[in-house]
Chains A and B, each alone.
Chain A
Amino acid sequence: EPEVTQTPSHQVTQMGQEVILRCVPISNHLYFYWYRQILGQKVEFLVSFYNNEISEKSEIFDDQFSVERPDGSNFTLKIRSTKLEDSAMYFCASRGTRDYGYTFGSGTRLTVV
């Protein structure tokens, strides 16, 4: 069964550093997403991406964050100047059409120290 692949599974970074979280969505999917889950809290929407541009972003997704689909297969989330409160599990998701469920990756656990 097709999977969404996320790397790395766990990343530890120092406060103020930049991190790039990588995702390989399912190859024929058209809609891409990033969500995050702070430990013990809800899964929160960050951003959706379609047709090579952001289609919607949440209040969380400020200038510190950016997304890119650099080569037609990877989908990345960049977090500049990380803060302690950015520590969370970050999930990438994709789907083919609007009438189907999302396929989520296994997540990247980001720890900012």
Chain B
Amino acid sequence: SQQGEEDPQALSIQEGENATMNCSYKTSINNLQWYRQNSGRGLVHLILIRSNEREKHSGRLRVTLDTSKKSSSLLITASRAADTASYFCATDKYGNKLVFGAGTILRVKS
């Protein structure tokens, strides 16, 4: 299985602090993607990092990928209450499906 697994399972921080979530996976991949899901809602694509990339930025998001350790991290800087959601990493091995991890529940307190 190429499943991605996130840690921590849950994270609670104050508004303005940074949030870091980690993801590990088991097999080689084509790319790794991060998604956000607000409670009971759909999945929103945040960022994609290819297997030959090591770091990527998008606004307040920073993603790293270490293929030797089969791990990735998502950093959200200067968090806001609106960032409260579940965050999932998902791996794409052949470009034909995503395998999701269990997710990290992030709560940002104002």
- A binding-site residues for B, Cβ under 8 Å: 31, 33, 35, 42-45, 48, 50, 55-56, 89, 91, 93, 98-107, 109
Cβ contacts A to B, 30 pairs, < 8 Å: A31-B96, A35-B98, A35-B100, A42-B101, A42-B102, A42-B103, A43-B90, A43-B98, A43-B100, A45-B98, A45-B99, A48-B97, A50-B96, A55-B96, A56-B96, A89-B40, A91-B42, A98-B30, A98-B95, A99-B48, A100-B48, A101-B33, A101-B45, A101-B48, A102-B43, A102-B45, A104-B43, A104-B45, A106-B41, A107-B42
Within 8 A of A (CB), among B51-110: 88, 90, 92, 95-103
Size category, B interface: 20 to 34
User: For chains A and B in complex, what number of residue pairs have CB atoms within 8 angstroms?
Assistant: 57
8 Å CB contact of A105 from B35, B42, B90, B98: B42
